[in-house]
A = this chain, B = another copy of it.
């Protein structure tokens, strides 16, 4: 069933509104293909932006850090957060500086945050982050130890509103500029995983499993 985020003051796209998308499917797809999110919080009334790995399960985004990390405490104390994910897909060379831009897929999420205290919920959240970042890896690993869980702070962000903004295709120039004999077009940018590099200390004969090999060459 198609669903959309309600458009309100926070998530309303004001510039280039024709590029705005509010349906959950598009927002989720962009979040799914990102490795890190830029998470904003407020410290002493001033903004701070921190890149974080994350995982999403339905309308909840999980973030983790050292239990004592500033961002874990500030997010908990502030109670709200903003998170942005952006893929740059290319540079758009227009016929004027004014119309030059980039192609991108971007999502901004606003939500309430809480620190996860329950050990089972924490373990589940860490699994979601692992599954979103390194699919299939969790089951290959030894179980997390209690002290590791204690040292880790995990935040649950409930998505309250979100928007996506997508820009694709060729430059849109002023009518009269199309007569200028200048090259215009797109320089695509691609992010892709390369071939795995094995740690020297891996026990002889142990190879990367299928869940890892399948990541090689994957485009974000």
Contacts and interface: CB of A to CB of B under 8 A. Distances in A.
Interface of A: 10, 14-15, 35-36, 38-43, 45-51, 53, 65-66, 69-70, 78, 80-84, 86, 88, 91, 93, 95-98, 100-102, 104, 106, 108, 110, 126, 130, 133-134, 137-138, 140-142, 144-145, 148, 151-152, 170-171, 177-203, 206-209, 212, 215-216, 220
Contacts of A148: 96-98
A142 to B, nearest CB: 6
A197 B181 contact: no
A62 B14 CA distance: 21
Contacts of A80: 46-47
Nearest to A145: B98
Contact of A66 (B15, B82, B93): B15
